[in-house]
Structure 1
Amino acid sequence: MLPARILQLPRLDSLWFFLPWMRVVTAFTRLRAKLFSWFPGFDMAFGILAYRMAHRRVVRTDHWEEGGYIGLGLPLAQFGDTILICKGGKLPLIVRPNGNGEWSLLGNACYVHGVADGRKWEAFEQERRSGGNRLADFRVI
């Protein structure tokens, strides 16, 4: 597994996120009636998506490359939590140290741009063979 610390965690429901988002929603409203007639469940699906996005946190990592990566994490995530890329996993996980050498899994996965679908793991495997990066074994209970 490849760990990286979370550096910043602003909530997505803060003003800087929702003002541009509301502009998109307003422009999108014109198409909404037409899309609703084509796809009967569209209004509910859009509402669920907006709710789920509003309760995510922006995460930025401090490892994996110069400048780190940015993504969306769980609302439970805190500054200092660790993002793991697991071999064979589709998305990274967020874990928190318990203080006694064990780790707690905070929930399902998070989205980190450029890391999904195991693409980054393959790059790390190549780097590891050349002695360029660190891997760690984690036991999540």
Structure 2
Amino acid sequence: MAGHRFGPDDEEARRILTTHFWVDHLPTSPQETFHLFAPFRFRGHQLGIVQRRTAWEGCWEIFEWRFKEGDERFHVRFPQTGEMLALEWKVEPARERGFDYRLTLRGFKGYPSQWYTRKRWRTGSLEELEERIRAFVPSQR
């Protein structure tokens, strides 16, 4: 997938990819399962988290990420298993379902290939990320 470009240059697409959290869809109830993908930077490290979750429970994996010189793929390594993936990716505008961007990831075994985010869904700290996730998950009535 060579079409990872967004707008005028690759740097803008990389910035959007690595500074936002992404979901496969918005849940309509606290019990509905959804996936979350969130690259971030923490104390000089490039890390990320991928989750399969509801408002009440879930499972997650932490990964390390980077871009290699001369290689346009998004490289991830899962420290728990040592598994390494080189993902083809594409960020593009997506106005459907109230989202601003769509991310396509190819080669992300066991996870969705389509992800969505909004301009204001920036990753920030892990605490801020969890707070932002809670904001869009419907509350128990």
TM-score, normalised to structure 2, is: 0.26
Give TM-score, length-normalised by structure 1.
0.26
- Structure 1 or 2, whichever has the larger Rg, is 1
